């Protein structure tokens, strides 16, 4: 099993694009690990939602989590209070969905915090056949055009 990793820093209310698409689309990816934390742990009252999507979130970067959204791959709820010794995490990876296109990381605050976050993503990489590559690419195009 081959694993690739990505890491980055995001300001609240923004998103990053993780470039994965290839010319032939014959590389598949699956989430292996998705983690995040504040860039200044222990210094603020924070409640932050970080999400991983299959499509860019134009105008939809908010702290709301909707598990019925077919574009949502994973979500993390992070809370930290100065009075607590340890921060709290709730991470949910919705399924073992395979994708072959770019993915997008978003973050927003549920309580008005402005502290940026850092994230770390590990993806399992594997070859996919022509039929699966075509199916995943068409599914991606269909989702874009239906919005």
- For 59-85, what is the mean pLDDT? 84
Domain boundaries, position 14? 2-145
Number of domains observed in the structure of the chain: 1
Q: What share of residues in the chain are helix, strand, coil (percent, to 5)?
A: 10, 45, 45
- CATH number of residue 132's parent domain: 2.60.120
Residues in the chain: 147
User: In whole numbers, what is the pLDDT of the chain averaged over residues?
Assistant: 85
Low-confidence winner among 15-24, 38-47, 86-95, 116-125 (lowest mean pLDDT):
86-95
Query: What is the token pair recorded at 92?
Result: 């949910």
């Amino acid at each position: 099993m081959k694993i690739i990793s990505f890491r980055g820093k995001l300001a609240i209310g923004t998103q990053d694009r993780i470039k994965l698409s290839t010319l032939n689309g014959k590389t598949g990816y699956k989430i292996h690990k998705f983690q995040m934390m504040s860039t200044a742990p222990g210094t603020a009252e924070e409640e932050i939602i970080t999400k991983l999507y299959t499509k860019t979130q134009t105008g939809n970067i908010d702290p709301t989590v909707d598990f019925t959204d077919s574009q949502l791959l994973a979500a993390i709820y992070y809370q930290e209070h100065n009075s607590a010794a340890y921060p709290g995490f709730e991470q949910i990876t919705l399924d073992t969905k395979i994708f072959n296109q770019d993915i997008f990381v978003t973050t927003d605050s549920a309580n008005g915090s402005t502290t940026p976050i850092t994230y770390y993503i590990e993806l399992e990489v594997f070859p996919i056949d022509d039929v699966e590559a075509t199916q995943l690419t068409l599914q991606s195009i269909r989702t874009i055009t239906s919005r």
